[in-house]
Amino acid sequence: MKVILSGHGRMGRMVEEILTQAGDQVLGVVDQGLFEDPAQVPGEPEVIIDFSHPSCLDSLLDFAVKTGCALVLGTTGYTPEQMQRIAQAAKAAPIVQSYNYSLGVHLLKKAVEAIAPQLLEAGFDVEIVETHHNKKADAPSGTAKLLLKAIDPEETRPRLYGREGMIGPRGHEIGIHALRGGTVAGEHSVYFFGEDETLELRHSAASRRIFAVGAVRAARFACGKAPGLYGMDQIVSGGKA
């Protein structure tokens, strides 16, 4: 593949290492002190892999729309308005957007989707707890939001981000809690609390490398695809919805 990297922090450097080892060509890197915009990078890229910052989104979408270049978005913390712009740009270019490119997290989401309706109907309480390193900028994590949507896609239940004070007995809310510290790559747990029983579904990442490997896999998937907004469901299934 001919690739532009957007962002050259730990994730971007890890993606670059994987691409280099596989024999792919990194045409350039968009980051502070390097190229300021993908349009400045020489050559004809097939795909851009982005692990940068939400503020970089507009230039990436503009380039993808203008050139038809595939775009893999690994950045988290987008606003609802930015998500709408991504969906609009996907009418002109193949765009992969996921909060987490781990196969394990994808299967965790699938498991949660399968069991949540029956447990909620049975009156189980639900809590999501996520843990990340002390450099992570956004909270809750994109993956926690992904799991939240899997549990309650229609947003029928209130969301409660942490608890404090004399709150009294809990209601039907879904609690979401973010822990930050050290070098934790990422841990996510979904708890279903019933009467005299608890069910926990958990994923733990030992290294961020699994996310970089998944993003490169997404880039290979996206190259040559028709315009559209794709996610891990299509990547894992080979393009099928």
Q: Which residues are annotated as catalytic? A: 132, 136
Q: At residue 132, what are phi and psi to the nearest 5 degrees?
A: -140, 170
Dist CA 42 CA 145 (whole Å):
37
**For the stretch 95-124, what's the b/e string if a residue is b when 16 or more beta carbons lie within 10 angstroms of its beta carbon?**
bbbbbbbbeebbebbeebeeebeebbeeeb
Question: Does residue 105 sit in helix, strand or coil?
Answer: helix
Rounded Cα distance between 188 and 129, Å, is 6
Which strands, in side-by-side order, build the sheet including 186-194? 159-161, 174-180, 125-132, 186-194, 197-205
Which tokens belong to 92?
């002109």
Helix axis angle, 103-121 relative to 142-151, nearest 10°? 40
Question: Which H or E element spans position 72?
Answer: strand 70-73
Dihedral of alpha carbons 181, 183, 185, 187, sign: negative
Q: Residue 30 is encoded by which pair of tokens?
A: 């968009």
